Amino acid sequence: MRLLSRCWTLITLLALPLLPASAAIAPKDLPVAVCVISPRVEPVEAVDGFGVVPTPTPRLVVLEPLLELRILREGQPPWQRSGSPSRPILTPLDWPTTPIAPGEFVLLQLRPRGAATGAFAHVQLAGGSEQRMRATEALLARLGQDPAAWLEAFDRALEYGDVPLAWTLLFHPRAPRSGELDGLRAEVIRRGCGS
């Protein structure tokens, strides 16, 4: 399907199995598996995933239903939302708090359904450069509601290896609905973080 099939490298964050509640391990030490589809992140050692976002308000798309989502940033009180096993937090979720500033670091803590209380996957996001964020916002404004323009911008981002921008375009709240765009979104979500 378009260029998507040539650049498929989604990741699984800390893809270890969840341990039974009877295991004698502190909740913070329990491995937690989540598949963050958007914004685009890569696995790193210090946290489960890291990504530079080209827009101040990335749309969150996580494959698993969440019981808890926290957004931590320096100098601000944490933002938090809780769900329950019967009413989990579902995505896509538009960025729910103050926009990310250029160069700002934001930590997402995600607890999927089935994870112990206090067990989180940690995803560090960093705001792109001021120039990068301005260019992304200008591109989004130029695209308007023309599905063909969004598809062309998506393909161009993939051609240049700019998967963070491609995923931003694909899942952006202002992206128009069209059969082809909806099909691409469904395919990305269907593939999840597998190969």
pTM given for the model: 0.81
Which whole number is the average pLDDT over 58-70? 96
Total residue count of the chain as it appears in this document? 195
Q: How far is CA 16 from CA 31, 33, 92, in A?
A: 6, 6, 24
Mean pLDDT over the full length of the chain:
85
Torsion of CA 8, 12, 17, 18, to 10 degrees: -140
Which whole number is the average pLDDT over 121-141? 96
What are the pLDDT digits (tens) for 68-77? 999 999 989 9
Name residues whose C-beta falls within 8 Å of residue 59's C-beta, 6 or more positions apart in sequence. Answer: 38, 39, 92, 93, 94, 95, 168, 171, 172, 173
Q: Where are the domains of the chain?
A: 2-190
Which residue is it, tokens 């890569």? 42
Is pLDDT of 5 > 70?
A: no
